Structure 1
Amino acid sequence: MASLSTLSHFLQECISSLLTWKALALFLALMNLKNLPLVWHARLAHHLYRNIRRTPQDPHHPASTHPPPHATHPIFLPLTISSRTPILETDYNFHKSNSTYFSDLDIARTALATRIFTPGSRLVNRDLDAELASASASSGKAEKQQPKGGSKLGLYIALGSVFCSFKREIKPFERYEITSRVISWDEKWVYMISYFVRPQAGGKGTGKGRLLATALSKYVVKKGRVTVPPERVLRASGFLPERPAGSVASSAGGGGSLTPGDSGSEEGQLLDEGITATGTATGTATGVDAAVVREVLLDAGGGDDAVKEEQRERNVHSWNEEDWPWERIEEERLRGLRVVEGYAGLDAKLFEEWGGE
């Protein structure tokens, strides 16, 4: 009887010690690790550094993707990440709150943007420094173009807008995948589609399964107040070949180079007036992930420019140019642009109709 009494007393002490506030707080923290302070930043940094292409040998596609050779052009390859829904991300219906989809999208888009923009960002940034300096000198605006602190402005990627459509609920602690890919680009914007998917059996990491939500986002490449055509950066990254001689960008297409100081061009107006293509004053990135991406893209681009140029050449020849000539890439780009046509100009139309009231 004495031994049973001792055992009972010991168990009571163990249970009471486990039910302390500290133990409960630790349990809740572990159950909601995704929502703890700075964890979002750590996740962003993880996917950002994982997708930086630093050397000429780095592939176009992420390490987790194994597409059939040349089946899809690298610019259109999807990228998939996975996550779960902790209790702190649920709403009063006890499923993933609609507002929390956007923090997951920040991570997914950053991973994709890093992969496609990292190689060419330094090359384009260097070229634009020379072009803007030349334009400023010729127009006598050298002092105006000099940013505060005396350092040159860096090239960065800014989030313009996000549209999200919710299809099915995501239950607490349920695992889901977010698959993102570039579907098109025009003179200003790069359009990305993201799918929230419940993975099917044996389909982990493939992006295939039950559709839970769809999101459409658009990014703009900026250098200070100057808008850089996405095609220029993608070409410098080695994702796009040179335009064939005599080809002309369609009205829906992104044109090649920036011509600073030309008052007859949109880019010249951007340089002179400091406005975006839509006429809205801009000085900083609007995306929550833009500040981090801006610094890492420039840091990752360090090194010999000759090495970067060699990387670009290798990237250009890393897919079958007979299967994916410039004409086929352009056809796919225009197909995607037709799909997002209504979304692309929706905000401008809404403001035109009701913004002035």
Structure 2
Amino acid sequence: MSLIFRMIMLLIASKFKPQLPIKHPKNSLKLRVLPNDLDINLHMNNGRYLTICDLSRVDMFIRSGLARTMQKEGWMPVIAEHTMKYKRSLKPFQKYVVTMEIINWDEKYFHMIHTFFVGDKVVAEGTSIGCVISKAGTISPEYVMAKVTARLEAKKT
């Protein structure tokens, strides 16, 4: 992974941030465009946005309790589809914020929106469709949320 240091920082920082609800969670990460994010045009590489979306999902998984539940159950998150719309370039060392929100789900997939901001301006927006799988197959979002909720409730007592 080309962002190992960002991932390590995220893993540490996520432990100290407030817990997120499992239903309709929304998070945000404050980041800066680093030299290894740049392409030949000296703006953030289009592929880097997808990697930043991955980091945002990891933060949400940790803070909502999903990461621990997936680990205990032997589940894995999988992105089935991701699309991006790029509106403005991110320049070297520019500060930006990426937000992620699970907006809804169906019998198989979670539907997510990732939005990149500079100030109050949207510079890029992505949509993801993802699921949680086990060796037996895809696990319904309702079951995933019920398991996370039950584990968190048991932890409180």
- State if a TM-score over 0.5 links the two structures: yes
Structure 1 residues 157 and 104, CA, compared in 2 at 3 Å: closer, same or farther?
A: same
Structure 2 stretches lacking a partner, 5+ long: none
1:114 to partner: Cα distance: 2.7
User: Which of 112, 116, 127 in structure 2 is aligned with 1:196?
Assistant: 116
CA apart distance, 1:48: 3.5
Equivalent residue for 1:75? 23
Q: Per-residue deviation at 1:79?
A: 0.7
The one-character-per-residue Cα deviations of 1:67-126 (angstroms, maximum 9, x if unpaired) are: xxxxxx762232111222233433343322212211211111111123331354467x3x
Q: 1:157 to 1:52 in 2, by over 3 A?
A: farther
User: Aligned-pair distance for 1:173?
Assistant: 1.1
Aligned residue number for residue 216 of structure 1: 127
- What is the RMSD computed on CA atoms of the aligned residues? 2.8
**Corresponding residue for 1:60?**
19
Q: Which of 146, 170, 182 pairs up with 2:102?
A: 182
Larger RCO (alpha carbons 8 Å, 6+ apart): 2
In the alignment, what sits opposite 1:43? 6
Alignment CA distance shift 1:76-1:90 (3 Å): same
Which moves more between the two structures, 87-96 or 163-172?
Answer: 87-96
Quickly say closer, same or farther: Cα 1:177–1:309, change in 2 above 3 A: closer
Alignment check: 8 A CA contact 1:120 1:235 kept: no
Task: Give the whole-Å Cα distance in 1 for the aligned partners of 2:15 and 2:70.
Answer: 11
40 and 165 in structure 1: CA distance in 2 versus 1, 3 angstrom threshold: same
1:118 counterpart letter in structure 2: A
Check the 8 A contact 2:22/2:149 in 1, yes or no.
no
1:8-48: CA deviation from partner (whole Å, max 9, x where unpaired): xxxxxxxxxxxxxxxxxxxxxxxxxxxxxx66123224324
For residue 61 of structure 2, give the secondary structure of its aligned residue in structure 1. Answer: helix
Per the alignment, residue 155 of structure 2 pairs with 311
TM-score (norm 1): 0.39
1:104 aligns with one of 52, 55, 80: 52
Any gaps of 5 or more consecutive residues in structure 1? 1-37, 62-72, 126-153, 200-208, 240-304, 315-357
Percent of residue pairs identical: 23
Structure 1 residue 155, shift from structure 2 partner: 1.5
CA distance in 2, matches of 1:224, 1:190: 19
Q: Aligned equivalents of 2:136 and 2:70: distance in 1?
A: 16
Tell me the matched-pair count.
156
Paired letter, 2:24: F
User: Which structure shows the higher helix fraction?
Assistant: 1
Q: Secondary structure of the equivalent of 1:215?
A: strand
Task: Using structure 2 for the length normalisation, give the TM-score.
Answer: 0.82
- Cα separation, 2, equivalents of 1:229 and 1:155: 12
Distance 1:48 1:235, change over 3 A: farther
- Within-5 A mapping of 1:138-157: 154-157=74-77
- Runs (4+) of structure 1 exceeding 6 A deviation are none
Distance in 2 between the 1:108 and 1:229 partners? 22
Asked if structure 1 preserves the Cα contact closer than 8 Å seen for 2:132 and 2:140, the reply is yes
Within 5 Å, give how 1:7-22 maps onto structure 2: none
Alpha carbons of structure 1 residues 48 and 188: separation in structure 2 relative to 1, 3 Å: farther
Q: CA deviation at 1:210?
A: 0.7
Maintained 8 Å contact 1:120/1:238: no
Q: Which residue of 2 aligns with 1:94?
A: 42
2:61 matched to 1:113?
Answer: yes
Q: What letter matches 1:86 in structure 2?
A: L
Larger CA Rg, structure 1 vs 2: 1
The one-letter code of the counterpart of 2:97 is E
Instruction: Please say if 1:167 is aligned against 2:79.
Output: no
